[in-house]
Amino acid sequence: MPGEEGLNLPFSSAVRVGNTLYLSGNLGNIPGTLTLAAGGIEGETRQTMEN
């Protein structure tokens, strides 16, 4: 994603606590673009997990 280079922030992209997965700053965008995946929340969630 544009602007990601060099960001050495102290954040985990995901943390699992029990059966809950907490995601930090992830979007359901098409890799390499700022375009969100089609299909509303379902499509965006699927893309987020694939990213």
Q: Which residue bears the tokens 């375009």?
A: 35
Quick: pLDDT tens for 26-37: 789 999 898 999
**Would you say 23 and 13 are in contact if contact means Cβ atoms under 8 Å apart?**
yes
The single-letter code of the amino acid at 21 is L
Distance separating alpha carbons of residues 8 and 13, to the nearest angstrom: 12
Say if residue 28 is exposed, middle or buried (CB neighbours under 10 Å; 0-12, 13-18, 19+).
buried
Q: Pick the more confident residue, 5 or 16.
A: 16
pLDDT confidence band for 46 (50 / 70 / 90): very high
Quick: pLDDT tens for 7-28: 555 666 788 999 998 877 778 9
